[in-house]
Amino acid sequence: MDLTGRTALVTGGTRGIGLAIARTLHHHGARIVVTGRDEGHGRRALEALDAGDDVTFCRADATHRSDAERAVDTVVERYGHLDVVVNNVGGATDFATVADITDEVWHRTLALNLDTALYTTRHALTHLIPQRSGRIVTISSMEGRDPDPGLCAYAAAKHALIGLTRVLAKEVGPHGITANCVCPGAVETDWVTEQGPKAARVLGTDYAGLIRHFTGRTATGRLTRPEEVATAVLLLASNPGSGITGACIPVDGGTTV
């Protein structure tokens, strides 16, 4: 799965799953632009990747269309062309049931997970369609396939990403472009440790109970690792994955079997 000569944009690529994806793609030869909202996280990501000029950090908030478009253009300006787009920005900062969710939380969660992918993908297509090649990989979630109660906005957004990807695959397939989703199981990243206690309260438990809940849903008896998600992205970004499009690949330890 050699990506030598390819370029990639990894949104939200400074921590957690995004950083693991950037590391894996670069290890297999790609030059990368990673985005994030925090300059400090960006600097630490570049230090961790230790890839010199092959990796660039672009400060961007992908919930703003102009930032998302600028990130896409940065890849082309920096490396001459764009080959792979990984829509990894996502998450949630508040959790609630359908009966209790506020408009603000609903719209903020949809913007963070769904709008970001639309803005980035739509602008990327202005480069990918003319060159008649490209790979678009969007990080959804097991919650988009088999949701838990109390995560209504997050689950709705992740489910919507799957629908968006399936439509996109049919639209851009004739242009030599593939579009797929990867659906990770629970991964204990720093984001999960920060936001997990809020989700746990909605589920009527504590953080340790939340982790036991997610682990108990798996067939493997453990949480998903970031590098396992990154390996699925690598396949979809590579030549051996060229026959896969419109797919939703679970990397969740059998949670959604």
Catalytic residues: 141, 154, 158
Phi, psi (degrees; rounded to nearest 5) at 227: -65, -25
Q: Under DSSP, is residue 155 helix (H, G, I), strand (E, B) or coil? A: helix
- Residue 212 CB neighbours (<10 A): 12
Residues 27-65: b if buried by 16+ CB within 10 A, e if exposed: eeebbbbbbbeeeebbebbbeebebeeebbbbebbbbee
For CA atoms 110, 112, 117, 122, the dihedral sign is positive
105 — phi, psi (to 5°)?
A: -65, -40
d(CA 107, CA 253): 30
Phi, psi of 170 (to 5 degrees): -70, -30
Contact 164, 110 (CB under 8 A): no
**C-alpha gyration radius of the chain:** 17
